[in-house]
Structure 1
Amino acid sequence: MPNADHNWQGDLLRDLKSTGPAGAGTPADPRPSVPPARPEPTAPGPAAHEAAQAHASASPAARAWPGTPTPPPTPDSLPVVDKAMAAVARRPVRGEAVAVRAARAVRRIVSGSAAREVAALTRTAEVLQQPVTTGRQIAVTSIRGGAGKTTVTALLGTTYAHYRQDPVLLVEADPALGSLPLRLGAEALRWTTADLADIAVPQMSLLDVTGYLVQLPDNAWLLPGSQGRIGAMVDTVTYERVMVALRRYFGVTVVDCETLPAEVARVALSAAQARVIAAPATLDGVTSTYSVLQWLRALPAHVIEGTVVALSVTTPRPGIDIDAAAERLASAGARVHVLPYDRHLAAGGPLRTELLARPARLAAARLAAEVFELSQKRR
């Protein structure tokens, strides 16, 4: 990464190197073209939270950031899923059965497609690892709940965090009961988007900021929308304050927005350098998403040009012609990527990339690369 043009990223990485125990939060070495098995996410480091609490409870005169409003009281740390509810979950399943994986491997060897696949993945990795001069914001939304919006957000965020060496942020800008923390394997939550809107100021360092975030594997961080309490909402003013305060610290920020036509989703789509519309591969899902694309076409041209549809196949036997549906959506001017059916994704629990079927992992990487490339075109 060219140091002359990206000193801000070097400063951020040096900040991360100084956090926690050796190796925690440090940039990863260059990665292979296909994500390897990921370890199970670990709980946020107590040292970071203790530092955040100490800062938040200090008197205005003792705080390191002059002129900062008095922050809200330190909230209690709450589990993402309580023990009684966690007990109902079954063991995570792999995306494909053993027989299917074996047959796929044989076909790749016999057809000689392995070399072509490796070459394509190398090109995808090169796109994902491109340097940025300013942080890229990517907004993910949908026309209704259950469209796979949070799953797409988690796939994008984990893919960027795996390939990139600069910090990656995932923001939950959804109403109170959003499931992004669960999908990312977070164990406990404390500070939320609304809390950080009242705390973050330009004088803060990356170390200060990450003390209020949930640490994830691969140099990724999560800012949850709530602690799971009904009634906690993220309004447009809160969203704008948080994004303005945080955008300079992270190379890529992926935002899990509320569904359209909510106001926060509209603001997020407008401010982002690239947009993803999550759509289920059903007749009503494709129809409603096509209507959204028609609406986007009436906006300035860069909006539809920077939009990608993630068409998620959620059942083994979809009730529509997937290729025909993708072609129809693409006719509205957006790029379309199909996320194939995957048993692990369909289960709805914490995302573990080592359990994803190979087609799902490759499709997620290609989607992430296209979205990132589109974000680079808008400065």
Structure 2
Amino acid sequence: MRGFRSEQRFTDPTGFGPIHQPEWGEPTPPIGIPTVDPYPPGNATGSLSSSYRPTVPQSPYPDLSTSSLLREVKPPPSDGWRRWLYLLSGKLINVGESPRANHRNNLIAHVNQPVQGCYRIALLSLKGGVGKTTITATLGATFAQVRGDRVVAVDANPDRGTLSQKVPLETPATVRHLLRDAETIERYSDIRNYTSQGPSRLEVLASESDPAVSEAFSSDDYLRALDVLDRFYSLVLTDCGTGLMHSAMSAVLSHTDSLIVISSGSVDGARSASATLDWLDAHGHENLVRNSVAVINAVRPRSGKVDLQKVVDHFSRRCRAVRLVPFDPHLEEGAEINLDRLKRETREALLELAAVVADGFPAADTHDRFR
């Protein structure tokens, strides 16, 4: 019997050597835990040799990830004749998305880039009538519709701004009411009492309708309003007035992450937008100008007299990017804006503009976020 007990019948699969078989009367280790000699021969210290590498058994089974188990399925076409062919064939013929649809999907992916905290965008121009408020509303609506997170546009125009007229009016409250009750706002449901929301889910914080009151909207007032909005919104767009010297403008420029300068397709519109950049350069905002986006907005049908390519070339040398927004009859109405009523070309131009702005989002540091 003793000879049978001393016979070695099993080998440790971890590679540490033979499994120790207990003698009669020797304590037996718990089931499933082999007794391993802690001091292998030739190593009196009990530590494994630096050249020793235990053999890791290879799994005989293939990778079980989703990509290896499932065949790649081409997404069905979303529109056009490709969509009709897919449906009429009983979903058997799938030629994939068109290049135009692929381009749109790529833009949507850019717009959906993650943003850390609250990202602030200021839109301004020295000249009125170039569609600055319209671009604020349509860009904000595009962001809100595509991203799905909270986006708010603030009317910082001291001369009775019209931003609140671009969405259905849900409340008579203005930024003044928000500042008055700022200490009592603790939840998102509280701040919704002061904003109106459009069909795209863009929210608008209106300015005072009385120019005498709104003129008193100071830099401190803007910063206090921004402090409240930063807590509840991912994107804050500020529709600035035409005057660069009014009281709130210094706070807007010093606390914005991205600048959008609006120009019309006319000669005086382009000159005014260029003068805006000149003023910013001369007052210590060179970095804002360098990273700004210029928007050439067609507020009326093209007459063909202005060479828009030369306008684009001029701003391309001064700004990070230039985008054109075509004339649209729905925007010409000057009433509430519904993105579904815009022409396809206009929606695509706004999506390209949103993608360019989103490319300026600071890169998310995933190491810090998950550390």
Q: Shorter chain as normaliser: what TM range?
A: 0.5 to 0.7
Task: Give the C-alpha shift of residue 326 in structure 1.
Answer: 0.9
Kept in 1: contact 2:138–2:350 (CA 8 A)? yes
1:229 lines up with 2:214 in the alignment: no
Kept in 2: contact 1:273–1:378 (CA 8 A)? no
Kept in 2: contact 1:136–1:376 (CA 8 A)? no
Aligned residue for 1:201, secondary structure, equals helix
Alpha-carbon distance between aligned partners in 2 of 1:377 and 1:144, rounded to the nearest angstrom? 34
1:168 lines up with 2:121 in the alignment: no
One-letter code of the match for 1:173?
Answer: A
The 1:153/1:224 distance shift into structure 2, 3 A limit, reads same
Alpha-carbon distance between aligned partners in 2 of 1:290 and 1:269, rounded to the nearest angstrom? 17
Q: Determine the structure 1 residue equivalent to 2:175.
A: 193
Instruction: Report the identity percentage.
Output: 25
Aligned residue for 2:211, secondary structure, equals coil
Answer 1 or 2: higher relative contact order, Cα 8 Å, separation at least 6. Answer: 1
Q: Determine the structure 1 residue equivalent to 2:313.
A: 327
Find the partner of 2:122 among 139, 150, 157: 139
Q: Determine the structure 2 residue equivalent to 1:309.
A: 294
- Map Cα deviations across residues 177-236 of structure 1 (whole Å, 9 max, x no partner): 21111122x23542111221222238611122222222333443221012x333231222
The 1:218/1:360 distance shift into structure 2, 3 A limit, reads closer
**Unpaired runs of at least 5, structure 1:** 1-32, 37-113
Task: Give the C-alpha shift of residue 171 in structure 1.
Answer: 0.9
Alpha-carbon distance between aligned partners in 2 of 1:245 and 1:188, rounded to the nearest angstrom? 20
- Map Cα deviations across residues 234-275 of structure 1 (whole Å, 9 max, x no partner): 222211110012112101111111123133234213211111
TM (norm. structure 2) is 0.67
Find the partner of 1:286 among 266, 270, 277: 270
The 1:364/1:224 distance shift into structure 2, 3 A limit, reads same
Kept in 2: contact 1:306–1:375 (CA 8 A)? no
Aligned residue for 1:211, secondary structure, equals helix
Alpha-carbon distance between aligned partners in 2 of 1:314 and 1:282, rounded to the nearest angstrom? 9
Q: Determine the structure 2 residue equivalent to 1:157.
A: 140
One-letter code of the match for 2:156?
Answer: A
Kept in 1: contact 2:199–2:338 (CA 8 A)? no
Aligned residue for 1:276, secondary structure, equals strand
Aligned residues: 268
Alpha-carbon distance between aligned partners in 2 of 1:190 and 1:252, rounded to the nearest angstrom? 23
The 1:377/1:305 distance shift into structure 2, 3 A limit, reads farther
- Map Cα deviations across residues 22-58 of structure 1 (whole Å, 9 max, x no partner): xxxxxxxxxxx99x9xxxxxxxxxxxxxxxxxxxxxx
The 1:130/1:378 distance shift into structure 2, 3 A limit, reads closer
Kept in 2: contact 1:342–1:356 (CA 8 A)? yes
Task: Give the C-alpha shift of residue 277 in structure 1.
Answer: 1.0
Aligned residue for 1:150, secondary structure, equals helix
Q: Determine the structure 2 residue equivalent to 1:270.
A: 254
Residues 196-211 of structure 1 mapped to structure 2, 5 A cutoff: 196-201=178-183, 204-211=186-193
Aligned residue for 1:232, secondary structure, equals helix
Aligned residue for 2:212, secondary structure, equals coil
TM (norm. structure 1) is 0.65
Alpha-carbon distance between aligned partners in 1 of 2:320 and 2:186, rounded to the nearest angstrom? 38
Pairwise CA RMSD: 2.6
**Unpaired runs of at least 5, structure 2:** 1-76, 80-96, 366-371
- Map Cα deviations across residues 263-314 of structure 1 (whole Å, 9 max, x no partner): 3234213211111111111101101211222333453543123311111112
